[in-house]
Amino acid sequence: MASQKITRASVTHLPVWHRKEVGKVAFADNIGLCRSEWLVRVHTESGLQGLTIANRYMRSPNGSVAGLLDILKEAFLGRTLDELLTLDGDRVTGVGKTVSAVFRDHPWLSIAAFDLIGRARGVSCIDMLGGGRRNPVPAYDTTMFYQDFLDPEKGSAKNAEEAAASRADGYWRMKIKIGRGSRWMLPEDGLQRDIEVIQAIREAVGPEHLLMVDGNFGYNGRFDLLEDLMRETASANIFWFEEMITADVNGYRRMRDIQMRHAPNALLVCGEVDQSPVSPVYQDLAAEGLMDAYQADIGQEGFANWMEIERTLEGTGTRSNPRNFGNGRFGTRAGVIFGASSETYIHFEDERQLDHTYKPDGLSFENGAYMIGNFHGLGLEIDLDIWDRDHAKHEVQISA
C-alpha cells in the first residue's frame, strides 16, 4: 500500500464563516465574518485522498494559485507514499529525503502526507504522532477580539454579553484580546479599557472559567502599564499572558518579575509569529524558563515540524500549544488531533467557524472539550454533494 503512487493534486478556495463579526486586535483592523480556506487534495492511483490547507502560503506576499501548483507538483506528483515520511512502526520519525527541501519551505504539506499514509496503513494521525494522550481535548473560545469597538454604545458590556453566550454554548475557556493602547487608544486609556473588559468578562462567566489574555505586543515598551494591568487584574485570575511584548530575553526577565509579583500562577506564552521554529530567541526563552508554552501555528508548521519542535523543546519545561487562527474548519481537525497526541499540550484554540463542505467528522463538542472517535488518517471526509454543487468548478488540478 505504501508504495502506491500519487497521480493528482488540486487546490480549491473555500469561504469559511465566523459565527459572529470578529473585531479588531492590537495590530490590525476587523477580522470580519468570512475568511478563506485553501484546501489542498492529494490523490493516489488507487483512490486514496490526503488533505491539507495552504492558507499560510496563500497569505504570504508571493502566494498565488500558480505558485501553489508548482509546490504541489514538486512535493507530491509521481512520488510514492513511502517517499514522504519516515516511520518507526506507526510513529513518524521524520520527513523523507526527496521531499525534505519542499517540506522545510512549506511545512503544512506534511499534514497531507500524514493523512495519506495513515489511510494507507489503516491508522490515525494520532497514532502516527506517537499515540493518544488525552481524550477529550479541551478547547478555548478565541473570538473575543475588540468586540467593544463594534458596538461603542455598549462598550465592555458587548464583550460581557458575548462571553456569556460563549459560556452558554458550552465553553469553559476563553482568550481575550487586549493591547488597545498600542494603536487604537492612548496608552493609558487603552490600559483602562483592557482592564474594564477583563473584569466585565470575569463577572459574566463566573469564577471557574479559564481566562487568557493576548496582547499581540500591545504593551511593548510600557512595563509600567504592564505592571498596572497585572496588578489591577489579579482578582480576575488570568491563566496566561500571551505576547504582551516582543520576544526578547531581557524583556521577558522583566515581565516574569512583574508577573511573579502580581499573578504568580500565570503562564507566559508566545511564539505564534515565529516563522522558522524554534528560532534562537525562543530557544533562549525556553532555556531560561521564561516561556511556559510555545505557539507556532499548526496550519503553518503542520505535524512533522511540530514533532521536531517538541524534540527541540524537550527538557526545557516549555509546553506545546500550537496556535490555530486563520486555519478554517480544517484547522479544528488538525489542531485537535495534534492536541490529542502531545504530552505537554494545554488546550485547543477554537475559532468556532461554521461547518462547511466536510461531512460530520466524528468530533463531538461537549462541556468545553472535543471528544474524538476512531478514524484513519485525519478522518476528515468531504461531502461530495456539497463539493459538486459549490466547489468543483473552482477546483484547480494538476496530474502526473
Binding-site ranges for Mg ion (CB under 5 A) = 214, 272
Q: How far apart are CA 203 and CA 173, in angstroms?
A: 14
Q: How far apart are CA 116 and CA 214, in angstroms?
A: 36
Cβ proximity to Mg ion: between 227 and 272 the closer is: 272
Cβ proximity to Mg ion: between 242 and 310 the closer is: 242
User: Which residue is at the shortest CB distance from Mg ion?
Assistant: 214
Q: How far is the CB of 359 from Mg ion (least distance, A)?
A: 31
Q: How far apart are CA 328 and CA 331, in angstroms?
A: 5
Cβ proximity to Mg ion: between 178 and 313 the closer is: 178
Which residues make beta-bridge pairs with 39? 12, 53
Query: What would the grid cell of residue 195 be?
Result: 482592564
Cβ proximity to Mg ion: between 184 and 387 the closer is: 184
Burial class (CB in 10 A: 0-12, 13-18, 19+), 28: exposed
Cβ proximity to Mg ion: between 25 and 304 the closer is: 25
Q: How far apart are CA 75 and CA 1, in angstroms?
A: 19
Q: How far apart are CA 157 and CA 227, in angstroms?
A: 25
Q: How far is the CB of 296 from Mg ion (least distance, A)?
A: 11
User: What is the 3 state secondary structure string of 141-191?
Assistant: EEEECEHHHHCCCCCHHHHHHHHHHHHHCCCCEEEEECCHHHCCCCHHHHH
Q: How far is the CB of 400 from Mg ion (least distance, A)?
A: 40
Q: How far is the CB of 272 from Mg ion (least distance, A)?
A: 5
CB contact set of 54 (below 8 Å; sequence gap of 6+): 11, 38, 40, 63, 68, 71, 106, 108
Task: Sort strands 267-270 and 240-242 into parallel, antiparallel or unpaired.
Answer: parallel
Cβ proximity to Mg ion: between 194 and 272 the closer is: 272
Q: How far apart are CA 126 and CA 343, in angstroms?
A: 12
Q: How far is the CB of 243 from Mg ion (least distance, A)?
A: 5
Cβ proximity to Mg ion: between 127 and 194 the closer is: 194
Q: How far is the CB of 27 from Mg ion (least distance, A)?
A: 10
Q: How far is the CB of 297 from Mg ion (least distance, A)?
A: 10
